[in-house]
Structure formats: structure tokens, C-alpha cells
């Protein structure tokens, strides 16, 4: 498939996990990719995988909590790859903690990455699309926890609800400029993040290692854990021309866990 030929996409949090899967899929679909993360070594590895697929790749080591670094990454993508068409605000962290015990430091950290990082990405992409006088796609990471809040990850859930709110508001504000804004909402994806979540539950509840992950997987109607490729298929659709009439949506892609 080459639905993204000639397009340039930036993917934050793309050194591993879902972000890596998204970057590779968009490259497979014909896009050149700007990879943004704080893990320089892993970024280089993903860039090599993209180039092996015959697409261009460039890397930026940046912290998405810093607005100026996000804007600079978008400028770098345009300058280095010759355009800018798709922004994927994928970077995020999980946090397992009972709400009654959450500290200000914990709250500040997760909101600065999961919410502020998405807002800076929306701002930077919108400014670039407008400056270039072109249409564009902004796609951000929400979660099933952005539709239903879950015990022990209440603050994480709050950040993902916030991404849905930003997505809806930005879609309304930017539609007249030809910019669509959507989000993807994965479920239980077999990545390092879920290893961290499982370990966090084990620490708080005394569950055996792997038990929480297994419990949540058993609740998936399609009978298996999600993969980064499953998520990337949806993001590819949201990045491509077939979704041009779709905006303001936070789409569930979870194998059948949360139903709307």
C-alpha cells in the first residue's frame, strides 16, 4: 500500500513499542518519518528499519514536555524531509497508584507528558500546517482508559480523558483550516508499558508477576493481547485519505474490551 507516498510524518515516542510500530507502518505506506524520543540509540535502530524499507528517516532527541523542543522537532522534520503532513502525538507513560495516595510530583510528571506533550504537538503541527497553507492530520494517543476509568490507574485515565477533550476541541477549532484531529484508543498492548503496569499492580495489590496482565487479557473478546501492529493499522487509516471526512474522534482499537 502506498497511500502516504510523498507525505512526511512525525511520531513522538517512536523508539519502541506502539510508536515504533506506527512509524514502521506509516513508512510501509509510503511516508518519510521524523522519529522523536529521548532514547537516542533505539531511535537510530528504528531509523535504520525505515530506511531499509526504502523511505527516508530522521531522528530528534527531544522531551515532549518542553514546548520549544516539540516546535523545534516539527521544524526539523519539515527542513530535513522537505514537508510536513502528519503529526502523531504518541509519547506517553503509565502510572499505577491508588488515587488517595497520588502525590503532586506524580501528578505533574504524568500530566506533563501525556497531556501537555499532546497539546504542544497539536499546537506545533497546527502552526506548521497553517504556515504552509495546507491541510494536515493530527493524531494523538488516548486509551480505553480515556473512555472508562480503571482502578489504580485513575490519574493515567484522567490524562487519557484529557486527550479526548483536546482532540474534540482542536477538531472544532482547526476544521476551517482543513486540519483533522483524531485519537486512537488501544487496550492491553504487549509492550514494556504493560510490563510496568503489571509490576505496579503487583506492588500495590500483592498480585503475582504477570497476573494482572493475564487478567486483563482474559477480558478481551478476540482472545489475545493487542500488538503495536494492531494499533498502527488504525493510525495508518487516520493518517491516510480515507479518513479525510473524519475529525474529533477517539477510536477504540482494543479487541473488544470497551464498547461505545
Mean pLDDT for the chain?
96
Q: Give 16's pLDDT tier (boundaries 50, 70, 90).
A: very high
Q: What confidence score (pLDDT) does residue 22 get?
A: 98
Give the per-residue pLDDT at 19.
98
Residue 27's pLDDT is what?
98
Identify the pLDDT of residue 1: 60
Catalytic residue among 116, 156, 184, 237: 156
Helix spans in the chain (H): 17-28, 40-52, 67-81, 104-111, 117-131, 154-174, 192-205, 211-218, 228-239
Give the pairing of strands 250-253 and 8-12: unpaired
Contact 234, 251 (CB under 8 A): yes
pLDDT of residue 171: 99
As a whole number, mean pLDDT of residues 30-57 equals 97
Average pLDDT over residues 183-209: 89
Q: Is residue 198 scored above 70 in pLDDT?
A: yes
pLDDT (tens digit, 9 = 90+) per residue, 143-171? 999 999 999 999 999 999 999 999 999 99
Closest CA relative to residue 91, chosen from 167, 19, 163: 19
> Mean per-residue pLDDT for 114-123?
98
* pLDDT in the model for residue 167: 99
How large is the average pLDDT for residues 40-67? 97
Q: How far is it between the farthest Cα atoms of the chain?
A: 55
Average pLDDT value for residue range 62-72: 98
80-89, 155-164, 189-198, 242-251: least confident range: 189-198
Model pLDDT, residue 195: 81
Determine the pLDDT at residue 201.
87
Domains of the chain: 8-96+105-187+228-252 (3.40.50.720)
Q: How far is 92 from 85, CA to CA, in rounded Å?
A: 22
| pLDDT for position 194 | 80
pLDDT above 90 (res 193): no
Percent of all residues in the chain with a pLDDT value above 70, rounded to a whole number:
100
The pLDDT of residue 191 is 84
Contact criterion met (CB below 8 Å) for 141 and 163:
yes
Confidence band of 77 (pLDDT split at 50, 70, 90) = very high
Dist CA 193 CA 17 (whole Å): 8
- Of the chain, the percentage scoring pLDDT greater than 90 comes to 90
Tell me, what DSSP letter sits at residue 136? E
The mean pLDDT value for 223-228 works out to 96
Catalytic annotation present for 216: no
Amino acid at each position: 500500500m502506498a497511500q502516504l507516498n510523498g507525505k512526511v510524518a512525525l511520531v513522538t515516542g517512536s523508539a519502541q513499542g506502539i510508536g515504533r510500530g506506527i512509524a514502521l507502518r506509516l513508512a510501509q505506506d509510503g511516508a518519510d518519518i521524523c522519529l522523536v524520543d529521548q532514547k537516542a540509540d533505539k531511535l537510530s535502530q528504528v531509523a535504520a528499519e525505515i530506511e531499509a524499507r526504502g523511505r527516508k528517516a530522521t531522528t530528534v532527541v527531544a522531551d515532549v514536555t518542553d514546548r520549544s523542543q516539540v516546535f523545534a522537532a516539527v521544524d526539523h522534520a519539515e527542513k530535513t524531509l522537505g514537508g510536513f503532513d502528519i503529526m502523531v502525538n504518541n509519547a506517553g507513560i503509565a502510572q499505577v497508584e491508588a488515587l488517595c495516595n497520588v502525590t503532586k510530583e506524580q501528578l505533574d510528571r504524568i500530566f506533563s507528558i501525556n497531556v501537555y506533550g499532546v497539546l504542544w504537538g497539536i499546537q506545533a503541527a497546527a502552526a506548521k500546517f497553517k504556515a504552509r497553507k495546507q491541510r494536515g492530520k493530527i493524531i494523538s494517543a488516548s486509551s480505553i482508559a480515556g473512555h472508562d476509568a480503571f482502578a489504580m490507574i485513575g490519574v493515567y485515565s484522567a490524562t487519557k480523558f484529557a486527550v479526548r477533550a483536546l482532540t474534540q476541541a482542536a477538531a472544532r477549532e482547526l476544521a476551517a483550516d482543513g486540519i483533522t484531529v483524531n485519537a486512537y484508543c488501544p487496550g492491553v498492548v504487549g509492550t514494556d508499558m504493560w510490563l510496568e503496569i503489571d509490576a505496579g499492580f503487583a506492588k500495590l495489590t500483592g498480585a503475582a508477576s504477570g497476573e494482572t496482565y493475564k487478567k486483563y487479557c482474559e477480558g478481551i473478546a478476540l482472545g489475545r493481547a493487542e500488538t503495536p501492529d494492531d494499533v498502527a493499522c488504525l493510525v495508518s487509516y487516520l493518517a491516510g485519505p480515507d479518513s479525510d471526512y473524519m475529525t474529533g474522534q477517539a477510536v477504540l482499537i482494543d479487541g473488544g474490551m470497551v464498547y461505545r
